[in-house]
Structure 1
Amino acid sequence: MALDSARADTGHHRNASSRPVVRLPLDELAGPVCPRSAGVDEAHARLLAESVEALPPIVVQAGTLRIIDGMHRVRAAVLTGRSDIAAVLSDESDDDAYLSAVAANIAHGLPLTLADRRAAAARVVAMHPEWSDRRVAKAVGLSGKTVGVLRRAADGPVADVRVGTDGRVRPIDAERGRQIALELLSSRPEASLREVASAAGVSPSTVRGVRDRIRRGETADARPVRDNVRPIKPRAADDIDCGRLLHNLSHDPSLRYTEVGRTLLRWLHNQPATVTVVEELPPHCLPIIAQLTRKYASRWADFAEQAERRARVEPA
């Protein structure tokens, strides 16, 4: 995942606290990243301006100089006649900076309004459709139930999986996870419960249940109904746009957020390069290379047949 769990859910403070403090001219600062629909609260800014204690430095996005955290401190500095302010620079992306701004404004200072938190939740769901309702709720200071309502009302991208606050990937359709577990246990009966659970995106107890059904000969309950088998019409290899297909696969959360999926993507991305170097290889190595690549090609062919067989009985 682009964001790790701690940074995405708690904001930039751990990252910013280790950065040096600099002085930035107030007139060079850009607008705030902060998701406040009402803008600066003048009464709160005046309270800060009258404070006798030193205020913490603001956090600013490097490059854009947008204010991630501290818009009221900036206003307080203006009210006291200062021309610059203490700040730390953050190299976060726009999406990360937004998450940090939300986290900062629900953790301290003037709290976000309910309307602002709901708006933040809708934006975070659009940014990270694979995040679970509870993870989004933790990031914006709402309940998981409220986030669920907002998600269902939104007309945005829908992910096949959910990534929880613990970082684990879980399929939205639990039956699909059981199907994956069944396939893995059938092909690798020696695999541990945790290995299969991690690859299938389900709990170890779910995998244990699937394994017990296999041992009792009750796997029919875990398999899809075959009444609506969808035939697959193979395409000629020359008709396939590998670049486009790889691009689509690389953006599929169900592959990007599982170890087996990432491994497969690395293999697939490395394939195009291997067919362009034959002329540069030493001739005395070519017979061995030919034997190996034929063997690997045979394994890939077996893999393709298994994938097509599973797709026929488990339509997408």
Structure 2
Amino acid sequence: MERSPRVVRIDELIPADSPRLSGIDRAHVQRLATVYASLPPVLVHRPTMRVVDGMHRISAALLKGLETVEVTFFDGAEDQVFLRSVAANITNGLPLSVADRKTAAARILASHPTLSDRAVAAHVGLDAKTVAGVRTCSAAGSPLLNVRTGADGRIHPLDRTAERLHAAALLTQDPALSLRSVVEQTGLSLGTAHDVRRRLLRGEDPVPQSRQSAGAMLEAGPAKRPRPAGAPVVPGIRPGRTATSAVAGRPPVSPRSRAPMEALRKLSHDPSLRHSDQGRELMRWLHNRFLVDEAWRRRADVVPAHCVDSMAELAQHCSDAWRRFAEEMVRRRHTSAADVAEVRATQPTRR
């Protein structure tokens, strides 16, 4: 925008596409005419010579018999003219009514449907909830979009279902995976990744019910929701199914699996295991053999009928081996406890 004012003939200007439903307020024009010398320059879009802000000032100049006005130029794109006009009208001059602002919000949403509610609210001087209501009322028949452009100018996906499912799959496969690694692989924020982990530990679906409903509205068909490249399928959700359709089925992690997953996570973060080669090797071995309800149920459906007996025998063998391993751990726990008690009993009492 050109800062230094220039004098322009009034008949060279195109009237503003004003957000005011009632048009020019004659009483306000008369008030401006009495203080005309102190008024700021009119804002004009240079490429089109359309007035962006200042129609009341131009009317005051005409009332005083003037043929020229001082203007400063705005060089933005043509689709930004109305946005700038609304923003200018809510910061100075005659205030816009609530009806003016809501109508302006509806126009902005029609011309800039990807703008977020907060971004539109900043332009029209309404709160974001009011803008959201205007969007709902004016969006009938309009295509539903999955992105929003925030007030910061950055593009934010509206539906993060696919990314949440990807994160759930990663954390199910490796409960000790750091959240920062999940963020790097899925594009989620750290807070959202943390929310997915908390939901898994509670046995809940990684996608909140409200998000699932939004995802269902945004989706026109079962094959139109893309999964991130290389994203593994989440347990309990087949490729092509939506998060909403999966709600009726089993959750990604059952309540029975929460305690083992939490135990595995704590072991993976134990310094005595993490900071030794043998400890890290043990945890890799354990991760490769860790099995939750969702995993074996998913694989049980794949076993053909003629392999059921062999698979059952193999599973029983593994179960027996794990049972002996568990008995050994319990024996060591009792042995350690007995050793500690014996040491305490032999220590002299300090007086």
TM-score by length of 2: 0.53
Matching residue of 1:41: 25
- The answer to whether structure 1 residue 76 and structure 2 residue 97 are counterparts is no
Residues 134 and 164, structure 1, Cα contact 8 Å, conserved in 2: yes
> How much has 1:40 moved relative to structure 2?
1.2
Matching residue of 2:165: 179
Alignment match of 1:207 (pick from 179, 189, 193): 193
Change (3 A) 1:76 1:178: same
Q: Percent identity?
A: 38
Q: Which amino acid aligns with 1:107?
A: T
Residues 36 and 61, structure 2, Cα contact 8 Å, conserved in 1: no
Matching residue of 2:103: 119
Matching residue of 1:150: 134
> How much has 1:73 moved relative to structure 2?
0.8
Matching residue of 2:147: 161
Between the aligned partners of 1:231 and 1:174, the Cα distance in structure 2 is 16
Q: Which amino acid aligns with 2:180?
A: S
> How much has 1:198 moved relative to structure 2?
8.9
Matching residue of 2:273: none
Alignment match of 2:180 (pick from 186, 189, 192): 192
> How much has 1:79 moved relative to structure 2?
0.9
Change (3 A) 1:194 1:51: farther
Residues 197 and 207, structure 1, Cα contact 8 Å, conserved in 2: no
Between the aligned partners of 1:129 and 1:163, the Cα distance in structure 2 is 9
Change (3 A) 1:68 1:81: same
Larger radius of gyration: 2
Q: Deviations over 1:73-127 (max 9, x none)?
A: 1111111111111111211122211111000111110011222111111011122
Change (3 A) 1:116 1:217: closer
Q: Give 1:265-280 correspondences, 5 Å limit.
A: none
> How much has 1:308 moved relative to structure 2?
10
Change (3 A) 1:77 1:172: same
Choose 59-68 or 45-54, whichever is displaced more: 45-54
Between the aligned partners of 1:125 and 1:28, the Cα distance in structure 2 is 31
Between the aligned partners of 1:58 and 1:23, the Cα distance in structure 2 is 10
Between the aligned partners of 1:49 and 1:111, the Cα distance in structure 2 is 18
Q: Deviations over 1:3-42 (max 9, x none)?
A: xxxxxxxxxxxxx3x5332111001111203211221111
Alignment match of 2:88 (pick from 104, 107, 123): 104
Change (3 A) 1:27 1:174: same
Choose 139-148 or 118-127, whichever is displaced more: 139-148
Change (3 A) 1:20 1:151: same
Q: Which amino acid aligns with 2:195?
A: G
Structure 1 residue ranges without an equivalent (≥5): 1-15, 233-253, 255-260, 262-302
Residues 60 and 89, structure 1, Cα contact 8 Å, conserved in 2: yes
Matching residue of 2:343: none
Q: Deviations over 1:42-63 (max 9, x none)?
A: 1111111111642211111112
Between the aligned partners of 2:117 and 2:4, the Cα distance in structure 1 is 35
Q: Which amino acid aligns with 1:103?
A: A
- The answer to whether structure 1 residue 135 and structure 2 residue 128 are counterparts is no
**Aligned alpha-carbon RMSD (Å):** 4.0
Structure 2 residue ranges without an equivalent (≥5): 213-220, 244-351
Residues 197 and 204, structure 1, Cα contact 8 Å, conserved in 2: no
Q: Deviations over 1:230-253 (max 9, x none)?
A: 997xxxxxxxxxxxxxxxxxxxxx
Between the aligned partners of 2:186 and 2:9, the Cα distance in structure 1 is 50
Change (3 A) 1:63 1:174: closer
- The answer to whether structure 1 residue 89 and structure 2 residue 73 are counterparts is yes
Between the aligned partners of 1:76 and 1:108, the Cα distance in structure 2 is 16
Change (3 A) 1:37 1:184: farther
Matching residue of 1:51: 35
Between the aligned partners of 1:122 and 1:195, the Cα distance in structure 2 is 36
Residues 129 and 158, structure 1, Cα contact 8 Å, conserved in 2: no
Equivalent residues, number = 223
Q: Which amino acid aligns with 1:199?
A: G
Q: Deviations over 1:175-209 (max 9, x none)?
A: 4442254478789x678379549933xx4222123
Between the aligned partners of 2:42 and 2:88, the Cα distance in structure 1 is 11
Residues 90 and 124, structure 2, Cα contact 8 Å, conserved in 1: yes
